[in-house]
Amino acid sequence: MCKCNCSSAGSDLKLLDGVLESYGGDKGNLITVLQKAQEIYGYIPTDVVYYIAEKMGSTPAKVMGVATFYTQFRLKPIGKYLIMLCKGTACHVNGSGEIEKAICKHLNIEDGGTTDDGLFSLKNVACLGCCSLSPVMMINGVAYGSLTPDKAVGILEDLKKEAAE
């Protein structure tokens, strides 16, 4: 049972021990420790917040305060597919707003959210660097360009089928 009294079986906290040995002695390294924790777990689980606080002589509230302050930290696991939807100027002009509406409606999530089945997360991002393909989204490193709302939804459906196979 996890220390925060949630029902989760808890994270494998030992995975973080090397990081804490290297950086945990100095409270000024908290951001580095959180970055390393996110690399290990994919996000910052609550029991990891408690563990870091205990090992660094801090409080869970302080650690959580830093983790929530910086947008680089995720406090929930991301989906199997991370949709990075470009909201840069070229994509905006070419209809990324309509693409976002279609994705949000289809998946029933908002920017920053993850579907209940854990399959998709959506994150709006700045220019992805392939403006000639605008509007563009990138999913797990693959760019999908010249999107229309229907095309974007079709891509998500294909990935859903792929995940089910």
Interface with ligand FES by CB under 6 A: which residues?
A: 86, 88-91, 127-131, 134, 136
Residue 29, classified by CB atoms within 10 Å of its CB into exposed (0-12), middle (13-18) or buried (19+), is middle
As measured in angstroms, the least distance from the Cβ of 109 to ligand FES is 21
As measured in angstroms, the least distance from the Cβ of 142 to ligand FES is 14
Q: How far is CA 110 from the centre of its chain?
A: 13
By beta-carbon proximity to ligand FES, the closer residue of 33 and 91 is: 91
By beta-carbon proximity to ligand FES, the closer residue of 44 and 136 is: 136
A 10 A CB-CB count for 24 gives: 20
Residue with the CB atom nearest ligand FES in the bound state: 88
By beta-carbon proximity to ligand FES, the closer residue of 63 and 86 is: 86
Helix (H) / strand (E) element for 113: namely none
Coil, helix or strand at residue 138: strand
As measured in angstroms, the least distance from the Cβ of 40 to ligand FES is 31
By beta-carbon proximity to ligand FES, the closer residue of 68 and 140 is: 140
As measured in angstroms, the least distance from the Cβ of 92 to ligand FES is 7
Name residues whose C-beta falls within 8 Å of residue 99's C-beta, 6 or more positions apart in sequence: 85, 135, 137, 147, 148, 149, 152
Coil, helix or strand at residue 146: coil
Which pair of structure tokens corresponds to residue 126? 């700045």
